[in-house]
Structure 1
């Protein structure tokens, strides 16, 4: 992957928006991989599902929060 970024950086016809987009894609992929590693290789949805199953008291819904309108 470094060779691809180096190739793009050395060619004169590539504008900065392409480089910024590629850098953003690399950073996004890194962040997703890091989050999966922290959650022990499960997605955020799977993690929350397991936590809801094992500790349902944490996910108790307050009926007042379900009322429409201003919460004042």
Structure 2
């Protein structure tokens, strides 16, 4: 194996580890889910409705 392949594998491993730690911090939720869940339990802590800020179709 070349050094470039080993570097790529190591970078992928570190990225996967960091991503898993990040999800563990948010209790397994993606950021939008975490914010919406927090908004439903503590709506006074937000200035604007976070659901309106989620990108996508406005339907």
Return the TM-score normalized by structure 2. Answer: 0.61
String of CA shifts for 1:22-67, please: whole Å, max 9, x gaps: 1111011111111111222222221111122222333314xxxxxx
Structure 2 residue matching 1:60: 3-state secondary structure: coil
Higher relative contact order (CA 8 A, sep 6+): 2
Classify the secondary structure of the residue corresponding to 1:22: helix
Q: 1:1-72 maps to which residues of 2 (within 5 A)?
A: 14-61=1-48
Computing the radius of gyration from Cα coordinates, the structure with the larger value is 1
Q: Which runs of 5+ in 1 are unaligned?
A: 1-13, 62-72
Moved beyond 4 Å, runs of 4+: none
Farther off after superposition, 26-35 or 44-53: 44-53
Q: How many residues align?
A: 48
